[in-house]
Amino acid sequence: MSNTDFVLAVEDLTVSFDGFKAVDSLTMYIDKNELRVLVGPNGAGKTTVLDLICGKTKSTAGSIKFNNTELTKLSEHEIVRSGVGRKFQNPSIYENLTVYQNLEVSYPKGRGVFGSLTFKRTQEVEDRVRKVAADIMLTEFLDMESALLSHGQKQWLEIGMLLMQEPELLMLDEPVAGMSAKERDQTADLLNRICQNRSVIVIEHDMEFVKKIAHKVTVLHQGKILAEGPMEKVQADEKVIEVYLGH
């Protein structure tokens, strides 16, 4: 199969830090509208894979093609502008700005120096902010300084900031860490809603949560793929049970 059929094609991706291979000739394909979950023990290289895709870490070898564009040569902001959004492990929001402002800053217009100096809040921006705010269940908090949000709400806000950019590929690093059971359910609904017209990669440890959202699961171990496939198949895999699920 030609890799042009995929939204994201990662091939032979390797990165080494002073000889230590954090990701070792990894090959992975993500379909359109797919929600893929990366699991694996600590240090398996999950976060590093996301770092490599979004350009935070430069790869040693291999290729990452997004809609047939090679990402490894682009700088971070170019990768974002080509349609890749990334949420960090710890909620990374602008605590001194209001929820509204957080979303507005993420609106993909006025991204240059002079563009930002002349940026005007149009009705279009306003509508978009309100729509996303409704999606992430923060409508009533729009005017609140975002530092005052709960931990879970901050996670949602960061997802919302990514949604403002309407990315084709959304990457979420542990989106439900620190959330209550109810918030986890709401987040699962949210993820199922937003992967309707885009591909999503999620890193998650909570297997119950993974079951609710995953179309396919990739298990990483020591920088390599241990198993890949639907949840039931992966859960039954002996190697996976041994290194990860077993304990």
Partner 1 sequence: MFGYSMADIGNIVVMQGFSGLSMFTVLLLMALGLAIIFGQMGVINMAHGEFMTIGAYTTVLISKVAASYGFTDYYFVFAIAIAFLLAFAVGYFVEFIMIRHLYKRPLDTLLATWGLSLVMQQIFRSSFGAKEVSAELPEWMLGSFKPTPDIDIPINGVFVMVLAALVTFGVYMFMYKSRWGLRVRATVQNRTMAGAVGINTAKVDRVTFALGCGIAGIAGAAFTTIASTGPTTGTLYIVDSFMVVVFGGAASIVGTIASAFGIAQAQSILQFFMTSSMGKVSTLLVIVTILMMKPEGLFASKLRK
Partner 2 sequence: MTLWEKMKASPVLGGKEGVIGLAVLAAVIFVILPLSVDIFRLNLIGKYLTYAFVAVGLVMLWGHGGILSLGQGIFFGLGGYAMAMFLKLEASDPESTKIQSTPGIPDFMDWNQLTALPWFWEPFKSLPFTLIAVLTIPALFAYIIGYAMFKRRVGGVYFSIITQAIALILSILIVGQQGYTGGVNGMTDLRTMLGWDIRSDSAKYILYFVNGLLLFGAIFLSKYIMSSKFGMLLLAMRDKEERVRFSGYDVSNFKIFIFCLAAMMSAVGGAMFTLQVGFMSPSFVGIVPSIEMVIFCAVGGRASLIGAVYGTLLVNYGKTVFSETYPELWLFLMGGLFISVVMFFPNGLAGIWDKLATKYGWFKDKAEVAKKPEVSTSGVEAQVVLTETTETMLAADSTNTATKAPRKRASKKDTGLESSKMRGAEA
Binding site for partner 1 (CB under 8 A): 17-18, 20, 22
x/- mask, partner 2, residues 26-65, rule CB under 8 A, reads ----------------------------x-x---------
Measured from the CB atom, is 111 or 239 closer to partner 2?
111
**Sheet (strand 199-203) strand order:** 84-87, 169-173, 199-203, 35-39, 216-221, 224-229
Q: Which residues contact 151 (CB under 8 A, 6 or more apart)?
A: 91, 178, 179
Query: Nearest 5°: phi and psi at 191?
Result: -65, -40
Nearest Cα to 226, choosing from 210, 209, 208, 238? 238
d(C-alpha 16, C-alpha 10), whole Å: 16
Rounded least distance, CB 102 to partner 2, Å: 8
Among positions 104, 173, 174, 183, the unique one binding partner 2 when judged by CB under 8 A: 104
**Residue 235 contact partner, candidates partner 2, partner 1, none, CB within 5 to 8 A by sort of partner:** none
Give whichever of 106 and 218 is closer to partner 2, judged by the CB atom: 106
Q: Which is nearer to partner 2, 38 or 54 (CB)?
A: 54
Report how many residues bind partner 2 under the rule CB under 8 A: 41
* Choice between 43 and 108, CB closer to partner 2: 108
The entry of partner 1, partner 2, none that residue 18 binds, CB within 5 to 8 Å by partner kind: partner 1
Question: In DSSP terms, which residues pair with 69 in a beta bridge?
Answer: 66
Alpha-carbon gap, residue 208 to 216, rounded angstroms: 14
State the CB neighbour count (10 A cutoff) for residue 68.
12
Here the tokens at position 71 are: 């990402």
**Residue 8 CB coordination number (10 Å):** 24
Q: What are phi and psi of 111, to 5 degrees?
A: -90, -10
Distance CA 114, CA 184 (A): 41
| Residue 92 binding partner per list partner 1, partner 2, none, with a CB distance cut-off of 5 to 8 Å that depends on partner kind | partner 2
| Partner in contact with 17, chosen from partner 2, partner 1, none, beta carbon below 5 to 8 Å by kind | partner 1
Which helix (H) or strand (E) segment holds residue 134: the answer is helix 123-135
Cβ closest to partner 2, residue 122 vs residue 192:
122
Choose the binding region for partner 2 from 32-40, 92-100, 203-211, 217-225 (rule: CB under 8 A). Answer: 92-100
Tokens of 52: 């490599």
Q: Interaction with partner 2 in 132-191: which residues (CB under 8 A)?
A: 143-145, 147-148, 158, 161, 165
Considering beta carbons, is residue 1 or 117 the nearer one to partner 2? 117
Catalog residues that contact partner 2 under the rule CB under 8 A: 54, 56, 75-77, 80-81, 85-86, 88, 92-98, 100-101, 104-106, 108, 110-113, 116-121, 143-145, 147-148, 158, 161, 165
